[in-house]
Amino acid sequence: MTLRRLAAGAAFAAALLLPGCLDFVDPNLPKPGPALLQLSVHFLGNGTFSLEAQLQPGLSPALEYRKVPNDTLLVNGQGLAPKTVHQNQARDYSATRPLAEEAGPVTIQAPFVDGIADRPPELRWFGVRRLDPDTVVLAPGADLHLHVDAAAPAGVPPPAGRQWFLQLFAGGHMFQLGADGPPLADLHVPAEFIPADSLGPVRASLLVLYSGQISVAGGGYFVNAQFDQHVFWTVVRPPKGAP
């Protein structure tokens, strides 16, 4: 019995030495790369905005996780400390802050990261300002015109990706239109497309979506950002002959 076991063990050991018996796979190890701040901003329509962000400092050429000497995120000039710090030095941020103006802008300064000497990226984005009152009176049979100001403040470049969608809701029906680019200053809806035959109120909602990327240090530090904003109106239609 002992000899058989020794023979089997020797055969197994010999098989390990034969070429092609083992298939080695390269380990999936992290590689050096740029620092990255992922950012999402939401205008909440009540004079506030919320943000979620994650900073990933990345690996240095020496395959060491980069340090962040001061991990405060500057939001409109006020510091925001991370909620979580991970073993790979990544940081998670979240907060809700007041807006000084309905359309912003919001300025976000990324933290410095060791080994990336240039000034870290700064993002400055703006929203859409409603020019009508929140309740619009529409005569029966008339077209609907809603007005917004989407012009960028002086010195603020517009984001690369922009989309908008206008939705009207009434009587269990919906109408929608939208396009790439900034929303039109005059959002015109012909009377025949306004939903519901009744003269009840119509709920109008404009959704604005922005997205873009900025970088510094020759691509050593990136910010990927997205932004959304809802603007609301209530459209009322008095009966014919009403004063």
User: What pLDDT shows up at residue 26?
Assistant: 52
Percent of the chain with pLDDT over 90: 62
In this structure, are residues 237 and 197 in contact, taking their beta carbons and an 8 Å threshold? no
Please write the tens of the pLDDT for every residue from 131-146: 999 999 998 889 999 9
Judge whether 20 lies within some domain: no
Please write the tens of the pLDDT for every residue from 153-179: 777 788 889 999 999 999 889 999 999
Judge whether 113 lies within some domain: yes
Enumerate the β-bridge partners of residue 76.
Answer: none
Domain of 174, in residue numbers = 35-236
- pLDDT exceeds 70 at position 71: yes
Judge whether 7 lies within some domain: no
* Long-range Cβ contact pairs of 140-145 (< 8 A, separation 24 or more): 140/199, 140/237, 140/238, 140/239, 140/240, 141/191, 142/191, 143/188, 143/189, 143/190, 143/191, 144/168, 144/187, 144/188, 144/189, 144/191, 144/194, 144/202, 144/204, 144/235, 145/186, 145/187, 145/188, 145/189
Overall pTM > 0.85? no
- pLDDT exceeds 90 at position 92: yes
- pLDDT exceeds 70 at position 17: no
* Distance from the Cα of residue 178 to its chain's centroid: 19
Judge whether 17 lies within some domain: no
User: What pLDDT shows up at residue 233?
Assistant: 96
State how many domains the chain has.
Answer: 1
Q: Name the pLDDT band for 199 (thresholds 50, 70, 90).
A: low
Judge whether 3 lies within some domain: no
Judge whether 21 lies within some domain: no
User: What pLDDT shows up at residue 12?
Assistant: 39
Judge whether 41 lies within some domain: yes
